[in-house]
A and B are shown apart, each in its own frame.
Chain A
Amino acid sequence: MAITAFTAASSAVDAPKRRSKVALFLLLPGLLYLALFFLVPLVSLVITSLQVPDPVVFGKYTAAFNIQMYGEVIGEYGTQILRSFFYALLATIFALLFSYPLAYFIGVKVRRWPILQGLMIVLVIAPFFISFLLRTLAWKSILSDDGVVVSALKGLSLLGTQDHFTGTPAAVVFGLTYNFIPFMCLPLYTTLERLDVRYLEAASDLYSRPFHTFRTVTLPLSLPGIVSGTLLTFIPAAGDYVNASSQFLGGSSSTMIGNVIQSNFLVQLNYPAAAALSIILMAIILVIVAVYVKRSGTDDLV
């Protein structure tokens, strides 16, 4: 439900005028809270990632400057890191292709009927209101080997009798795509809803073919929505570990970086490795976001 975070940017905010001590009183508690529970944890991740194991007690670590940990985890989990970003990229592309026509229809074509438009948007965000884990488990049952879909595909010989869908990389990408479609659809909808259709009419009056109009008018005008939607999908998808977990849609060949961090931290109690991987994940995401935001020209994100 992070939509407002990225779309609120487009509503122009006038520069506030007053300077006052009140501002400090209003800001300080919340900013201290964020510093204490967002910034300090990042620092403790860095410190943890440099620790070395205690020679006596298992699961206990002592302060050190073991920078080699970063090399070790990249060597050991490089595949999972690359795989996470590849899956997230695929899920983002599929979610964009799936959502754009839907958002266009709701935002532009249904504009004349506001109640219908409102109800369709409720349907788009409806998945938010039911547990994310249960939705993913529902897909697992529907797509399982004795489920309707796989049996039908086998009946049509589109799948071999020995083939599976759940547990494969395709299933993980499918789950990621499904779960993040609303995050893609909503920002697209908010920009397309404000699209001035007179531009489209002008283009067709100038004898532009529909596809050409789409490419040169509609698409550039909806770019802010595309940027927000892709970020809102890509970031959580790259760090997700529920879809790829073997209890859900994944298997041993589809482990993502989130799974590795989780198992290192909570199962193997290898805190330094988990911390180093978290820092790597965060750093890569920040670089991607910074480059992407710079290139697409939407600066003010908050």
Chain B
Amino acid sequence: MTTQEALALDLTLDTKRGRRPRAGRFGLGSLILPVYSALALIFLLIPIVYTIVFSFNDAVKTNVSWRGFTLNNWLRVCDAPGVCQAFGNSILIGVIATLIATVLGTMIAIALARYRFRFRAATNLLIFLPMATPEVVLGAGLAAQFLSAGIPKGIGTVILAHSMFCLSFVIVTVKARVAGLDPSLEEAGRDLYGSPAQVFLRVTFPLLLPGILAAALLSFSLSFDDFIITYFNSGSLQTFPTYIYTAATRGIPPQANVIASAVFILAIVIVVTAQVAGEKRRKRLMKQTAGV
């Protein structure tokens, strides 16, 4: 035993003997943080619970005061005029904008992580700036541009706008994944006489897929919930958020709560499943490595 080891052991024993007891290990002090955290999480969930509860409200004109439980809103979602139309528009816009942003963004992310080129600093700045610009400026800028170019506002302008602000987020998400990718895997593919296209399709792309999917989901949820940029560029077109904004003056129909609640529950199920599956896979991998 070296002196260092002895010292380390001595110190460990020292803590175990508890000459320096951690203050209040089971006392009141150690309870403050967990209790605070639980209360904080409850606070964050209050408006969500409110929204879901009021999707079951037997509302007549406005959905503000509780008038009794009903399932009618869930069974007849499209009864409120315009709400399903707006929801459909939001889905359509989200899907197309996500496709555009994901394809363009993945290409840029690969280039940033794998290649050397001039104007790298300027490129980084161009990607970063849209994320640091307040949405109201992005919205007003695009609206001014469409106005001076004489392009009428509608679904097309909203899709163009959404793809733009989703693009930067896709780039940073996918880039992190490309950077974490072991280049020797692609080298192995090339060593085995894979053509560049084969290496990309059989090695790079499958490894990047989880990152690309995460970026696509992020992009869709950004697009789906965007109000400020959309409102500047939608004209008479209603998306789900602009529908809520305009309906807020005369009262939101409970059907809007139904749609929001359904989307929320679906999203939570997806996220929790992904988390649990990821955790299971990690455990399995650890077992396998331990077995070897």
A residues near B (Cβ < 8 Å) are 1-2, 4-5, 8, 11, 13-20, 22-24, 26-27, 29-31, 33-35, 37-42, 44-45, 47-48, 98, 101-102, 104-106, 109, 114-115, 118-120, 122-139, 141-142, 144, 178, 181-182, 204-205, 207, 210, 231, 235-236, 238-242, 247-248, 257-258, 261-262, 265-266, 271, 274-275, 278-279, 281-282, 285-286, 289, 300-302
A1-B222, A115-B279, A130-B260 known; A30+B44 contact, CB < 8 A: no
Q: Is the CB of B143 within 8 A of A129?
A: no
Q: A34-B164, A38-B129 are in contact. List 4 more A-B contacts (CB 8 A).
A: A24-B117, A127-B48, A135-B48, A257-B136
Q: Is the CB of B131 within 8 A of A2?
A: yes
- Tell me which of B134, B231, B241 contacts A131 (CB under 8 A): B241
- Separation of A103 and B253 alpha carbons in the complex (Å): 36
Q: Which residues of B contact A132 (CB under 8 A)?
A: 225, 227, 241
A/B interface sample: 14 pairs, CB < 8 A: A8-B172, A16-B113, A18-B116, A29-B104, A48-B144, A48-B147, A98-B40, A114-B279, A128-B225, A130-B260, A235-B134, A261-B136, A278-B136, A282-B134
- Tell me which of A39, A102, A128, A204 contacts B40 (CB under 8 A): A102
- Separation of A257 and B206 alpha carbons in the complex (Å): 46
- Separation of A257 and B222 alpha carbons in the complex (Å): 23
In the complex, whether B13 has a CB less than 8 A from a CB of chain A is no
In the complex, whether B205 has a CB less than 8 A from a CB of chain A is no
Q: Is the CB of B115 within 8 A of A19?
A: yes
Which of B45, B117, B124, B136 has the largest count of A CB atoms less than 10 A from its CB? B136
In the complex, whether B20 has a CB less than 8 A from a CB of chain A is yes
Q: Is the CB of A258 within 8 A of B144?
A: no
A38-B164, A47-B148 known; A135+B51 contact, CB < 8 A: yes
Q: Is the CB of B164 within 8 A of A37?
A: yes
What residue in chain A is nearest B55 (Cβ atoms)? A134
- Tell me which of A20, A124, A281 contacts B134 (CB under 8 A): A281
| Closest beta carbon of chain B to A212's beta carbon, Å | 13
- Separation of A125 and B225 alpha carbons in the complex (Å): 14
Interface-lining segment among B1-9, B31-39, B72-80:
B31-39
| Closest beta carbon of chain A to B82's beta carbon, Å | 15
- Separation of A131 and B173 alpha carbons in the complex (Å): 23
Q: Which residues of B contact A109 (CB under 8 A)?
A: 33-34
Q: Is the CB of B241 within 8 A of A11?
A: no
- Tell me which of B50, B168, B249, B279 contacts A247 (CB under 8 A): B249
Q: Is the CB of B50 within 8 A of A141?
A: yes
Q: Is the CB of A265 within 8 A of B140?
A: yes
- Tell me which of A27, A144, A239 contacts B108 (CB under 8 A): A27
- Separation of A139 and B272 alpha carbons in the complex (Å): 26
Contact bitstring B211-230, A, C-beta under 8 A = 1, else 0: 00000001001100101100
Q: Is the CB of A278 within 8 A of B141?
A: yes
Q: Does more than half of chain B's interface fall in helix, strand or loop, or is it mixed?
A: helix
Per the 8 Å Cβ criterion, residues 230-283 of B in contact with A are 231-232, 240-241, 244-245, 248-249, 252, 256-257, 260-261, 263-264, 267-268, 271-272, 275-276, 279
| Closest beta carbon of chain B to A241's beta carbon, Å | 6
Ranked 4 nearest A-B pairs via Cβ: A239-B134, A41-B141, A23-B115, A138-B47
| Closest beta carbon of chain A to B63's beta carbon, Å | 9
Q: Which residues of B contact A239 (CB under 8 A)?
A: 134-137, 228
| Closest beta carbon of chain B to A102's beta carbon, Å | 5
Q: Which residues of A contact B33 (CB under 8 A)?
A: 101, 104-105, 109
What residue in chain B is nearest A121 (Cβ atoms)? B275
Q: Is the CB of A26 within 8 A of B164?
A: no
- Separation of A300 and B231 alpha carbons in the complex (Å): 32
Which of B37, B175, B222 has the largest count of A CB atoms less than 10 A from its CB? B37
- Separation of A241 and B134 alpha carbons in the complex (Å): 11
A133-B244, A137-B252, A141-B64 known; A30+B140 contact, CB < 8 A: no
Q: Which residues of B contact A266 (CB under 8 A)?
A: 231-232
In the complex, whether B208 has a CB less than 8 A from a CB of chain A is no
- Tell me which of A34, A114, A181, A265 contacts B127 (CB under 8 A): A34
What residue in chain B is nearest A129 (Cβ atoms)? B267
Q: Which residues of B contact A300 (CB under 8 A)?
A: 124
Q: Which residues of A contact B37 (CB under 8 A)?
A: 101-102, 105-106, 120
Q: Is the CB of B172 within 8 A of A35?
A: no
A37-B142, A115-B276, A141-B64 known; A127+B47 contact, CB < 8 A: yes
- Separation of A20 and B196 alpha carbons in the complex (Å): 13
A34-B167, A129-B267 known; A45+B276 contact, CB < 8 A: no
Which of A5, A120, A271 has the largest count of B CB atoms less than 10 A from its CB? A5
Q: Is the CB of B241 within 8 A of A45?
A: no
- Tell me which of B41, B138, B261 contacts A38 (CB under 8 A): B138
- Separation of A39 and B122 alpha carbons in the complex (Å): 13
What residue in chain A is nearest B148 (Cβ atoms)? A44
- Tell me which of A19, A39, A118, A248 contacts B275 (CB under 8 A): A118
Q: Is the CB of A258 within 8 A of B136?
A: yes
Q: Which residues of A contact B164 (CB under 8 A)?
A: 33-34, 37-38
- Separation of A22 and B199 alpha carbons in the complex (Å): 15
Q: Which residues of A contact B136 (CB under 8 A)?
A: 239-241, 257-258, 261-262, 278, 281
In the complex, whether B161 has a CB less than 8 A from a CB of chain A is yes
